[in-house]
């Protein structure tokens, strides 16, 4: 048998691996390495969507199986984004003690404390996943919103908190202080506090009109509220 056209190969070998074979072997090697070092269920950036695919919330990529996702976590793109997120979180931690003013997240909840102390060694790990649904009360015809937030890495003793903030209280969009909007803030360590811009309409805070629920098994936080009907 003639072996002269099989570059770099030896008699009895399978020849030099092509580009696709090399990539397949590299992905399999990275997957096995990730399985030894990563618990995929505790990965804050791991999300399984309704189609059964796996998403990386850090890099905004979609993967068909867990092996592909694990190989992605060992790749250059994911590692680079992790380094950028860590650097940004370090810059954001300029204030390690947060004192809540009157009407803050703590005072918005029954029995809430007057101040919130953030631990000095707390490292933010990113924003939670969320879903927003428009709702309408069938009897009063009030319209409202339901927020579903995912906190896969939150500790058992941590309870997410919320508060409503006017556009003139917030310090992020100083040039966008529009009285037509207000903000819903939701916080749960070690995730970043997220804010949702909603219409500046009066919230109906009567029992049954505004409610929250935290599913500790699935680590999902729900908050639903209705707006007062305009007269």
What is the pLDDT of the chain when averaged over all its residues? 76
More confident residue, 71 or 82: 82
Per-residue pLDDT of 81-92, as tens digits, reads: 888 888 877 776
Q: Are 17 and 10 in contact (CB under 8 A)?
A: no
More confident residue, 117 or 53: 53
More confident residue, 177 or 135: 135
Question: Would you say residue 217 has pLDDT above 80?
Answer: yes
> Long-range contacts: 71-80, Cβ < 8 Å, 24+?
71/27, 71/28, 71/30, 71/31, 71/34, 73/34, 73/38, 73/43, 74/30, 74/33, 74/34, 75/30
Domain boundaries, the chain: 19-91, 129-227
Question: Would you say residue 113 has pLDDT above 60?
Answer: no
- Specify the CATH number for 129-227; select among 2.60.40, 1.10.3210, 1.10.720, 1.20.120: 2.60.40
The answer, yes or no, to whether the previous bond of 219 is cis (omega within 30 of 0) is: no
Sequential DSSP letters for 98-159: -PPPTTSTTTTSTT--S-----TT-----PPEEEEEEEE-TTT--EEEEEEEE-TT--TT--
Q: Taking residues 63-90, what's their average pLDDT?
A: 82
Per-residue pLDDT of 10-64, as tens digits, reads: 555 555 566 677 777 877 777 777 666 667 777 888 888 888 888 888 898 888 8
Q: Are 148 and 165 in contact (CB under 8 A)?
A: no
Give the pTM.
0.46
Q: Are 48 and 70 in contact (CB under 8 A)?
A: no
């Amino acid at each position: 048998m003639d072996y002269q056209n099989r570059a770099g190969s030896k008699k009895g070998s399978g020849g030099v691996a092509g580009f696709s074979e090399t990539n397949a072997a590299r992905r399999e090697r990275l997957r096995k390495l990730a399985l030894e070092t990563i618990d995929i269920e505790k990965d804050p950036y791991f999300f399984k969507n309704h189609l059964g695919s796996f998403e990386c919330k850090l890099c905004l990529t979609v993967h068909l199986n867990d092996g592909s996702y694990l190989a992605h976590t060992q790749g250059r793109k994911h590692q680079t984004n992790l380094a950028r997120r860590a650097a940004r979180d370090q810059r954001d931690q300029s204030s390690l003690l947060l004192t809540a003013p009157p009407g803050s997240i703590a005072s918005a909840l029954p029995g809430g404390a007057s101040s919130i102390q953030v631990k000095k060694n707390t490292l933010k790990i990113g924003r939670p996943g969320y879903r927003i649904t428009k709702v309408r009360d069938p009897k009063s015809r009030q319209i409202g919103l339901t927020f579903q937030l995912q906190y896969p890495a939150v500790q058992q003793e941590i309870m997410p908190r919320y508060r409503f903030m006017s556009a003139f209280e917030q310090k992020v969009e100083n040039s966008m202080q529009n009285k037509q909007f207000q903000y819903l803030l939701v916080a749960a360590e070690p995730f970043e506090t997220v804010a949702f811009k909603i219409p500046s309409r009066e919230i109906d805070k009567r029992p049954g009109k505004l409610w929250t629920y935290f599913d500790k098994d699935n680590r999902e936080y729900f908050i639903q509220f209705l707006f007062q009907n305009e007269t």
